[in-house]
Amino acid sequence: MKKRIFSGAQPTGNLHIGNYLGALKNWVALQNEYESFFCIVNLHAVTVAQEPKVLRQKTLDLARIYLASGIDPQISTVYVQSDVSEHSELAWILNCVARIGELERMTQFKDKSRVRGENVSAGLLVYPTLMASDILLYKTDLVPVGHDQKQHLEITRDLATRFNRDYGETFKIPDAFISPTGAKILSLADAAKKMSKSDENLNGSIFLLDDADIIQKKIKRAVTDSGTNIKFDESRPAINNLLTIYQLLTGKTAEECEANFAGKGYGNLKSELAETVVEFLRPFQERVKQIDDGELEKILKTGAEKARSIARETLKTVYERMGIVGAR
């Protein structure tokens, strides 16, 4: 029996090259080795207000992006989170297992609630319990995510362990898969921040659907530093970041990348990187356009049916263990 992976992305804003390099690229690489579940987590998206029409559209657009990235629906299960109501049902149970204090300590909650002040939904606080449900329903072995989700994986493990202790062995304890390179792609405009969909400064992110002209402008404007040589060096995050994107898209080794830019200036790095990104995204964007609506609907329906059959079994065990029985 193959081991299982689960992962997902939110249909909020536009996916950027950080989402691709930190998550989707690894999903594609792992899908042959693992039984894979890739979810469009639209219920996570509504932890902050979304325009209904836009959310509906972005949900389908994100499914197209999964497929264009190389997720193969013949071997992987691709579905929308709200189509499998067991995610919400288990989230309620885990809300009752989680402690308010541990949820309040989550960095993502602290960061996002600081920006929103009074206007913070209870959903944002319990975001990690919904994420834990996503993962635990499938008895997931491995969760490929970017570095920003590491803490949410840890709380998932804690909740599963606590439930198992209190109600008997039920959940598999999942491991995070965080790639050593690309798990935290930084903003091109501010190397102190990660590249982010919700960043108001659009120059910080290369979106997967940006056109060639915009990509070139954004990379040309990217912040650098006062040094001159082009080497991987974590103490020079801006250059390190540009080189990392270049390395991951070309598949070259770190030594090959450094040799390629030996004796060259930042201008060369930027123009070669821009060309690399444009050449990578051109066929990707073509594939996005070619995905047929009817075909997509079928893939998501089949995916939801498969996911539901597994999720239902896990939830049944959870209810039995807890003594939750109804009249039907």
Contact (Cβ atoms closer than 8 angstroms) between residue 184 and residue 146: yes
In the set 4, 5, 6, 18, which binds ligand AQP (CB under 6 A)? Answer: 18
CB of 18 to ligand AQP, least distance (A): 3
In terms of C-beta density within 10 A (0-12 exposed, 13-18 middle, 19 or more buried), how is residue 155 classed?
buried
Q: Six-digit token pair at 65? A: 């992006």
197 binds ligand AQP per the rule CB under 6 A: yes
287 binds ligand AQP per the rule CB under 6 A: no
Piece of the chain touching ligand AQP by CB under 6 A; list 17-25, 134-142, 238-246, 318-326: 17-25
**CA trace torsion 83, 86, 89, 91 (10° rounding):** -90
CB of 203 to ligand AQP, least distance (A): 15
145 binds ligand AQP per the rule CB under 6 A: yes
> For residues 287 and 67, what is the distance between their CA atoms, to the nearest angstrom?
8
CB of 131 to ligand AQP, least distance (A): 9
CB of 259 to ligand AQP, least distance (A): 26
Given 197, 231, 252, 264, which residue is catalytic?
197
CB of 179 to ligand AQP, least distance (A): 9
Task: Tell me whether residue 139 is one of the annotated catalytic residues.
Answer: no
In the set 184, 218, 236, 308, which binds ligand AQP (CB under 6 A)? Answer: 184
In the set 93, 136, 185, 245, which binds ligand AQP (CB under 6 A)? Answer: 185
Alpha-carbon separation of residue 305 from 43, 310, 312 (angstroms): 18, 9, 10
In the set 5, 23, 39, 219, which binds ligand AQP (CB under 6 A)? Answer: 23
In the set 25, 194, 236, 270, which binds ligand AQP (CB under 6 A)? Answer: 194
Of residues 167 and 232, the one with the C-beta less far from ligand AQP: 232
The two counts, helices (H) then strands (E), for the chain are 15, 5
Element (H, E) at 4: strand 4-9
> For residues 108 and 127, what is the distance between their CA atoms, to the nearest angstrom?
9
Task: Tell me whether residue 217 is one of the annotated catalytic residues.
Answer: no
> For residues 110 and 104, what is the distance between their CA atoms, to the nearest angstrom?
7
204 binds ligand AQP per the rule CB under 6 A: no
277 binds ligand AQP per the rule CB under 6 A: no
CB of 319 to ligand AQP, least distance (A): 28
In the set 61, 83, 141, 148, which binds ligand AQP (CB under 6 A)? Answer: 148
Binding mask 164-183 for ligand AQP (x = CB under 6 A): -------------------x
Piece of the chain touching ligand AQP by CB under 6 A; list 6-14, 155-163, 219-227, 290-298: 6-14
Q: Which residues fall within 8 angstroms of residue 28, CB to CB, at 6 or more apart?
A: 69, 70, 71
Task: Tell me whether residue 112 is one of the annotated catalytic residues.
Answer: yes
Of residues 223 and 318, the one with the C-beta less far from ligand AQP: 223
Given 25, 184, 194, 270, which residue is catalytic?
194
Segment 217-220 long-range contacts (CB within 8 Å, at least 24 positions apart): 218/188, 219/188, 219/270, 219/273, 219/274, 219/277, 220/270, 220/271, 220/274
Q: Degrees (nearest 5) of the Cα angle 76, 77, 79? A: 140
Q: Specify the amino acid at residue 148.
A: D
Of 25, 2, 69, which Cα lies nearest the Cα of 287? 69
Helix crossing, 52-69 with 266-290: angle to 10°? 100
Q: Catalytic residues, which ones?
A: 112, 194, 197
Q: Which residues bind ligand AQP (CB under 6 A)?
A: 9-10, 12, 18-19, 22-23, 145-146, 148-149, 183-185, 194-198
